[in-house]
Amino acid sequence: MTAMTGQQAGVQRPTPEFTLALLQELEWKRFEQVTEVYFQQMGWDTHAAPIGPDGGVDIHLTRPGSQRTDAVVQCKAWLGSKVGVSLMRELFGVMADATVPEGFFVTTSEYSSEARAFAAGKRLTLIDGADFVRRIEELPRETQARLYATATADDYRTPTCPSCGLKMVKKTSGKGRDIGKPFWGCPAFPRCRATIWMRTDTALE
């Protein structure tokens, strides 16, 4: 007699746990991708900004059937440092210039009290890392699994080059005051000279 598997017996496998620790492990581009999939699951049509200068917007959101951008999203994969009010003003300015009525700011970190005060009373929703995880936990199990799969596919820790989109490589500074300090460099050097310092308490993007 062949034993039935848990799935055949009707037993649901546990949904992989999407934790704040996992969220904060994601490199900046993967965090943006997870954020985009989240908004898709919330019913938005999405359009991600291309690699390179993003003009203060990472994802454009459109309601089904709409012919215009209905909301914009800015993402920051930060550790330690809180997102400050200057970035709130920047995003709100972009919304005003483009006459976009709604904005979302999503970070793996937290927001300063000044940033939250600025956003209060505006159509500007601030989602910090802990809040993002809570929102994911409220989604159906299959949607949580889809977001987890998006987050953890392949190499999700090594940062993507913000200039050309290649996976970066570990290097060590050989000169100047930062000699001996590890950083991420673009493998297309010297054609692309983009660098990112190893994650400590600063933003990756």
Spell out the domain ranges in the chain: 20-152, 159-205
CB proximity list for 145: less than 8 A, separation 6 or greater: 15, 16
Q: How far is CA 91 from CA 60, 77, 96, 170, 171, in A?
A: 12, 16, 9, 32, 33
- pLDDT confidence of residue 43: 96
Distances (CA, A) of 145 to 35, 48, 64, 191: 14, 22, 24, 39
* Residue pLDDT, tens place only, 11-36: 555 557 899 999 999 999 999 999 99
Element spanning 46, H or E: strand 45-48
Tell me the average confidence (pLDDT) per consecutive run of 10 residues in the chain, 205 residues long: 46 71 96 98 95 83 94 94 96 96 98 98 97 97 96 95 92 82 91 82 42
d(Cα 160, Cα 58) in Å, to the nearest integer? 15
pLDDT score at 7: 46
For residue 62, the cross-strand partners are: 45
Question: How confident is the model at residue 89, as a pLDDT?
Answer: 97
pLDDT at 12: 53
Architecture of domain 20-152: 3-Layer(aba) Sandwich (3.40)
Q: Which two tokens stand for residue 50?
A: 């291309």
Q: Residue 16 has what pLDDT?
A: 75
Side chain identity, residue 54 = D
Amino acid at site 176: G
